[in-house]
Chains A and B, each alone.
Chain A
Amino acid sequence: MSTQKLISNPRGIPSSPFVERVEDYVSEAEPVEIVLKKFQEAISKYKFMEVNLLQRRKVLEEKIPEIEKTIAMVDLLTEKKDTHEPLYTDFELNDTLYAKAKIEATGTVYLWLGANVMLEYTCEEAKDLLTSKLETAKTSLKNTLEDLEFLRDQITTMEVNTARVYNWDVKQRRLLREQSAAVEASA
């Protein structure tokens, strides 16, 4: 027998059943329509989860470049700090408004931590903090992508299941029609 499937993936997404033989799933008590309905429900649940994960992925994919930009700036400041020269920049006050600013060589930066909190850090501490934030974001993104792939698998499996149950049903009906036609012909 091929490898046993997981019951749910590391982050708690249940895996879908695979229909080896349609006959096992369809019976008197569970006619085709009920089975198809259950499959459809499962598919819509998976698709809902997929939409959520896609959202999360988008947010992370935006956050990561932001953090990388901040790290680039901190690196530049660290570089300039050693030369003891002031740095001139055009600094963004608004989308289309820039102001000239002179930045003295400094060893500290202020980092915006969110929730109206800003803290002062030395350049090294800032770099470390930002690098670890970047790593966390990248790991989250990797997990989200894995989950998305897993969901994709489950959705495909369920869709194939649905198609096969439906095909089997069509075939059964045709066989029944042919049988009853044969019975009538022989009568």
Chain B
Amino acid sequence: MSNIKMLDKKEETDGDIEVSWVDQQRINEFSKYNAKIDDLEDQYEKLKQEKEYLDDVSMELELADEDELVRYKVGDAFVHVTAPEAIEKVEKESEKLGLALEEVTQQVTTVQGKMEALKKELYAKFGNAINLEKE
């Protein structure tokens, strides 16, 4: 409760609205979605970065010699594999990440949609008495 704004007289009397259980539930839901979207955005950033790394690596591998042994990182150790094998592995990883990224993007869109809907309902009832924006 850090942003305490002093409402002037007129606004104060208008904020005389009772909060029903349904309103409380909506507010709680909004708070949950807010936290969730922060998490999802973090996840999305991490996945995007990994995918970028893999894309860079696959470009490098295409330029590499066919017989050259590439050290492919599995866990904490590097395994010597041939270039074509490495390319295959990188492609598989890249596909997995692509799917994960899509899923996260979808979730973000869903959550954002729900938050917009809740915002409309809550602003309609409470107007100035509630603040739903990110600082």
In the complex, A167 Cα to B19 Cα: how many Å?
Answer: 12
Contact A76 B74 (CB under 8 A): yes
CB proximity to A under 8 Å, residues B1-35: 1, 12, 15-16, 18-22, 24-25, 27-28, 31-32, 35
Q: Is the CB of A149 within 8 A of B32?
A: yes
Whether the Cβ atoms of B15 and A167 lie closer than 8 Å is yes
Contact between B75 and A160, CB atoms less than 8 A apart: no
For the complex, is B76 an interface residue (Cβ under 8 Å from A)?
Answer: yes
- Chain B residues in 8 Å Cβ range of A167: 15
Docked-complex contact B1 and A76, CB < 8 angstroms: no
Is B63 close to A, CB under 8 A?
no
B interface, over-half SS:
mixed
B66-107 CB mask vs A (1 if < 8 Å, else 0) is 000101001111111000000000000000000000000000
Do A92 and B77 touch (CB < 8 A)? yes
Q: How many residues of chain A are within 8 Å of chain B by beta carbon?
A: 31
Contact between B77 and A90, CB atoms less than 8 A apart: yes
A25 adjacent to chain B (CB < 8 Å): no
Number of B residues contacting the other chain (C-beta, 8 Å)?
25
How long is the Cα–Cα vector from A100 to B32 in the complex, in angstroms?
50
Within 8 A of B (CB), among A25-43: none
With A152-B35, A171-B16: A90-B78 Cβ-Cβ less than 8 Å = yes
Stretch at the interface among A6-14, A65-73, A113-121, A132-140: A65-73
Q: How far is the CA of A9 from the CA of B22 in the complex (A)?
A: 19
- Given contacts A73-B75, A162-B1, are A156 and B31 in contact (CB under 8 A)? yes
Hey, which bits of chain B sit against chain A, CB under 8 A?
Answer: 1, 12, 15-16, 18-22, 24-25, 27-28, 31-32, 35, 69, 71, 74-80
The 8 closest A-B CB pairs, nearest first, are A69-B75, A88-B80, A90-B78, A153-B28, A73-B75, A156-B31, A91-B77, A2-B21
A residues adjacent to B (C-beta < 8 A): 2, 18, 20-21, 69-70, 72-73, 76, 87-92, 98, 101, 148-149, 152-153, 156-157, 159-160, 162-164, 167, 170-171
